[in-house]
Structure formats: C-alpha cells, structure tokens
C-alpha cells in the first residue's frame, strides 16, 4: 500500500505530457533526486492504469539502481512519499499559475493573515471582477465572503468610509443570490433524477419548492441565470412543448451573454426534451441542441469529453444521417475522450460502429462492433441493436434466418438482464417491441401485412419502442 498515494498523483501528472516533462526536468541534482527521477521513469513506462498491487519492490530497486541490489523497504517507502509530495506541490503550483482568481485569492489570504485588510480586499475583489463571470454561483458566494471578511476583519479601519458602509448589506445580497442558484440547481437535479431515472422525490419536495419560490425577492428573480433556472424548473416539473420552447428561446437569445453556465442550461433543455412527446419525434430537435453545444465547445471540460455524451451525440447524428457531421465530430473530438483501459475498446468500437452505419458500410459495422465486450450491459445493448439494424440492411445477403437468430439472442439477453434487475419492465418492453416490429418489417415481402398496417402498429406503440425513426424509415421504403 506504500505506493497508493504516489500512483494517484502520478495518474494526475501523466494526463499532460507537457506537465510530465516540466516536472521531470526539476528532478536533477543529488542522489535522492536522481532516485526519484528513476522511480518516475519506471512508473511512466508502466501501463498508465497500473495499481499498487502491480508494483514490486524488487523490480523498482533494479530500475533505480541498475544492479541486483535491493533497496530496503523503508527506503522505498520514503522515496515514494517524497516523490508524491513533490508531484502534489508541482500540480498545485501549476494550478496557481493557470488560475488567476485562485492566485489572487491565495495572495489575498496572505494579506488578510498579516493584517493588511485594505490590500486584502483590493487584491481579491479586482481579480474576481476581472476573471469570474458574474452569473456564476461561485462569484456571488465569493463576493459575499469577501464583503463579510473585509468588513469584520480585526485590522479594518475604514468602516466610516461611505463606500464600505454597505458591505454587510451587499454580503447578504450576494449570499442570497448564491443560495438561490444553489437551491434551484439542486432542485432541478432532483427533478431530473425523478423524471428520467424514476427515483423518488422527498414527500415535501414540491411544498418546499413552492414556498421557496413564493418568498423569492423580485429583484433576484430578474437575474438572468435565475430566470433561466426558474424556467428549467417549470420545464422539468411540468414538461410541455410550450415550456421547452420558452426556455430554448431565452437561452438562444442570451447565449452570448452567458459564459460558464451555457452548458448547464443546454443540458436542462436536453433533459426536458426527453420528457416531451414531439409530434415528429425528438431526434431532430435533440440534434439541433447538440450542434449548438458543439459549436460553442460546451462539452469539453478540462480537456475531457464525457464518453457517454460522445456516444449519444454520434448516435443521434447517425440517426439524422448527418454523414459529414459525424465524421468531422469524431475527427475533432476523439482526442478529448478519457477512459479506463477496460472501457477503451468498447467506446471506440461503438463510436466507429455508428460512423460506419451512417456511411452505409454495414459490413464494417458488424466487423467493428464484434469486438465489444458483452459483459457490459450498456455496450452490449447498443451492440445488439446496431447489429440487428446492420443485418436488416444486409438482408439480401445475410438472409432472414440470420436476423431471426440475432433477434432471438437479443430477447434472451433482455430476459436475463430483466431477472437480474439491469432492465425494468417498461425498458424491456421497448426493446421487445423493436425486435417484434423489425422482424415483421423484414418478413413483409413474404406476408400479407401492408405498409399501412405496419405504420399503424408503430404509431400505436405510443413511444413504447426504441429506434422509432429508423423503423418508420424502413416501413416507408417497403414496396
């Protein structure tokens, strides 16, 4: 266990090759630093997902000393501790250099502890106004604490000055704004989890929310971010097309004014969209929101792109048959994916499976997704669906029996996962309906079912089916 903390720090350091090289160049000097450098060398050339149990004292000793001599266990423990501390200090220093506000806040803390109240206030306030967008919750919280700390600082000598007289009042205002934003954000998260993930809300949730909104001061309600969050609450508590369009219009009108909270509101729109039965389906509207987010680079944070969002975006775009967009999106953003080694292959296989599907290379689709590890329910489900669709597109070559076998395998998979609680009944039924209708469409040329009957059956599912737009397209293409 002596390497555990060091490994955690190394994984943070190894994210950036530039950071790694800058840190590595500092380990020059005496024997102790040389040993730390060689230990870092050894960890770098290991698999980056190594863990504590994979590291052996004997191999590390040989890597450090270049001989068969073994370092004492206590020496290795000290070496690991010292290197870990150095990496942590380096990462903290990097953060201070890159984050102007954090640097100013730390400097302000120094002034505060040394009794220079006025310098403390000026340092943090000026940088806060310059760097942090004023619609952020953190901005108002920091501003409230600044006003409070400056006014009540034991070294403060300026209470009589007019400009500082209102600091207590301003502190209350900013704290109220921060707490309002916090309250609304957490309420929205509860609503999302209740509506989308079928989690239970607290019994008094709606009463508390109503009381909070009733007593919210009018001037707070007029703040742009608060207005958008209030409309998000309306959309997610009572989802309607009208509520969705109202939030979307305000969001697009103010998208250039919003800064860090663009993504927050866009995700509320996406979540709200999943709860509304659009007449022509949600996919076109969802794709429009995705393109807005990608255009404004809202989904890459700290150099990372969520793998689940990435997969979902490629799927939606492939459903819309946006060939050029899918290709361009993957080429531009794949480098931002971060994943554990065990998930890497599955993620890449499913992404390229969707890409080949939209490019209508169905043989390549089947070959690509064959490598997906079927122990993962999320990826296995997507693999089955994509494979069934690809086989259907290759029906003249593959034959109906291949499609039947694959559908039968998928049904067995769903039954097993239903028993083990990986699927709930409504979710399973959507997949069963997809399988049933896909087979009926494939058999249409051999049966008396008409296009009209199949389309009517699809419409009668009332949303209790997956891949509705694809199924509708296949029905329309029947002779």
pLDDT tens-digit readout, 173-189: 999 999 999 999 999 99
User: Is the pLDDT confidence value at 472 over 90?
Assistant: no
- Tokens 């531009």 — which residue? 332
Rounded distance, CA 141 to CA 143, Å? Answer: 5
The 10s digit of each residue's pLDDT in 383-426 is 999 999 999 999 877 678 899 999 999 999 988 887 777 777 88
Q: 219 in a domain, yes or no?
A: no
Q: What confidence score (pLDDT) does residue 100 get?
A: 76
Please provide the average confidence, as pLDDT, over all residues in the chain: 83
Q: Which of 142-146, 241-245, 435-439 has the lowest mean pLDDT?
A: 142-146
Q: What confidence score (pLDDT) does residue 404 get?
A: 92
Q: What confidence score (pLDDT) does residue 157 get?
A: 56
Nearest to 180 by CA among 233, 101, 127, 237: 233
The 10s digit of each residue's pLDDT in 161-171 is 556 667 788 88
pTM for the structure as a whole: 0.75
User: Is the pLDDT confidence value at 353 over 90?
Assistant: yes
CB 358 within 8 Å of CB 329: no
Rounded distance, CA 377 to CA 360, Å? Answer: 26
Nearest to 383 by CA among 352, 359, 419: 352
Rounded distance, CA 112 to CA 116, Å? Answer: 6
Q: Which ranges of 159-261 would DSSP assign to H, the alpha helix?
A: 162-165, 167-196, 205-214, 218-221, 224-237, 241-253
Percentage above 90 pLDDT, the chain: 32
For residue 91, the enclosing domain spans 4-98
Higher pLDDT pick, 297 / 10: 297
Higher pLDDT pick, 34 / 49: 34
Q: What confidence score (pLDDT) does residue 244 get?
A: 94
| Mean pLDDT for the stretch of residues 312-332 | 94
Higher pLDDT pick, 457 / 318: 318
Q: 421 in a domain, yes or no?
A: no
Q: 146 in a domain, yes or no?
A: no
User: Is the pLDDT confidence value at 341 over 90?
Assistant: no
User: Is the pLDDT confidence value at 379 over 80?
Assistant: yes
Q: What confidence score (pLDDT) does residue 428 get?
A: 86
Length, in residues, of the chain: 479
The DSSP H or E segment spanning 431 is helix 425-443
Number of domains in the chain: 1
Interacting residues of 348 by C-beta distance below 8 A, sequence separation 6+: none
CB 289 within 8 Å of CB 330: no
Give whole-number Cα distances, 361 to 365, 369, 404, in Å: 6, 13, 21
Interacting residues of 428 by C-beta distance below 8 A, sequence separation 6+: 414, 417, 418
The 10s digit of each residue's pLDDT in 83-94 is 888 888 888 888
Q: What confidence score (pLDDT) does residue 26 get?
A: 78
Q: What confidence score (pLDDT) does residue 119 get?
A: 74
Q: How many Cα atoms within 13 Å fall on the side-chain side of residue 106?
A: 10
User: Is the pLDDT confidence value at 116 over 80?
Assistant: no
Q: What confidence score (pLDDT) does residue 53 get?
A: 58
Q: 333 in a domain, yes or no?
A: no
Rounded distance, CA 174 to CA 223, Å? Answer: 12
Q: What confidence score (pLDDT) does residue 446 get?
A: 57
User: Is the pLDDT confidence value at 317 over 80?
Assistant: yes
User: Is the pLDDT confidence value at 13 over 90?
Assistant: no
The 10s digit of each residue's pLDDT in 227-267 is 999 999 999 998 999 999 999 999 999 998 888 889 999 99
| Mean pLDDT for the stretch of residues 146-168 | 67
Q: 424 in a domain, yes or no?
A: no
Q: 104 in a domain, yes or no?
A: no
Nearest to 52 by CA among 2, 127, 111, 14: 2
| Mean pLDDT for the stretch of residues 337-349 | 72
Q: 259 in a domain, yes or no?
A: no
Q: 476 in a domain, yes or no?
A: no
Rounded distance, CA 158 to CA 156, Å? Answer: 6
Angle at alpha carbon of residue 120, lines to 105 and 181, rounded to 5° = 50
Q: What confidence score (pLDDT) does residue 49 get?
A: 54
| Mean pLDDT for the stretch of residues 351-379 | 90
CB 109 within 8 Å of CB 142: no
What is the band of 342 on the pLDDT scale with cuts at 50, 70, 90?
low
């Amino acid at each position: 266990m002596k390497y555990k903390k060091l490994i955690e720090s190394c994984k943070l350091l190894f994210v950036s090759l530039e950071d790694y090289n800058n840190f590595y160049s500092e380990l020059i000097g005496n024997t102790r630093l040389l040993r730390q450098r060689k230990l870092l060398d050894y960890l770098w050339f290991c698999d980056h997902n190594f863990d504590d149990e994979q590291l052996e004292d004997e191999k590390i000793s040989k890597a450090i000393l270049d001989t068969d001599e073994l370092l004492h266990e206590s020496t290795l423990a000290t070496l690991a501790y010292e290197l870990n501390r150095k990496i942590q200090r380096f990462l903290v220093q990097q953060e201070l250099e890159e984050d102007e506000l954090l640097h100013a806040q730390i400097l302000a803390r120094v002034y505060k502890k040394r009794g220079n109240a006025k310098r403390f206030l000026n340092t943090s306030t000026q940088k806060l106004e310059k760097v942090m967008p004023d619609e952020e919750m953190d901005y108002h919280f920091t501003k409230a604490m600044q006003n409070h700390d400056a006014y009540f600082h034991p070294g403060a000598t300026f209470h009589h000055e007019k400009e500082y007289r209102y600091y207590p009042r301003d502190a209350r205002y900013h704290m109220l704004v921060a707490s309002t934003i916090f309250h609304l954000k957490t309420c929205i998260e509860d609503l999302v989890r209740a509506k989308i993930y079928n989690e239970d809300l607290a019994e008094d949730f709606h009463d508390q929310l109503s009381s909070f909104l009733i007593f919210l001061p009018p001037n707070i309600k007029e703040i742009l971010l608060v207005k958008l969050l209030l409309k998000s609450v309306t959309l997610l508590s009572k989802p309607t097309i009208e509520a969705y369009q109202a939030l979307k219009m305000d969001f697009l009108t103010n998208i250039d004014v919003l800064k860090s909270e663009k993504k927050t509101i866009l995700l509320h729109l996406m979540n709200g969209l999943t709860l509304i039965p659009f007449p022509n389906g949600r996919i076109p509207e969802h794709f429009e929101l995705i393109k807005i987010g990608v255009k404004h680079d809202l989904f890459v944070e700290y150099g990372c792109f969520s793998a689940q969002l990435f997969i979902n975006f490629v799927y939606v775009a492939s459903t819309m048959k946006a060939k050029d967009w899918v290709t361009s999106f993957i080429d531009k953003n794949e480098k931002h994916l971060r994943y554990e080694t065990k998930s890497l292959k599955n993620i890449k296989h499913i992404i390229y499976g969707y890409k080949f599907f939209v490019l209508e290379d169905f043989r390549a689709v089947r070959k690509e997704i064959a490598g997906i590890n079927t122990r993962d329910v999320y990826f296995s489900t997507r693999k089955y669906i994509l494979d069934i669709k690809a086989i259907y597109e290759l029906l003249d070559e593959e034959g109906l029996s291949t499609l039947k076998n694959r559908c039968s395998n998928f049904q067995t998979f769903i039954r097993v996962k239903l028993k083990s609680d990986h699927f709930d009944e409504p979710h399973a039924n959507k997949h069963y309906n997809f399988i049933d209708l896909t087979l009926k469409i494939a058999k249409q040329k051999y049966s008396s079912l008409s296009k009209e009957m199949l389309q009517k059956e699809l419409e009668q599912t009332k949303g209790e089916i997956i891949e509705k737009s694809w199924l509708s397209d296949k029905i329309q293409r029947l002779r």
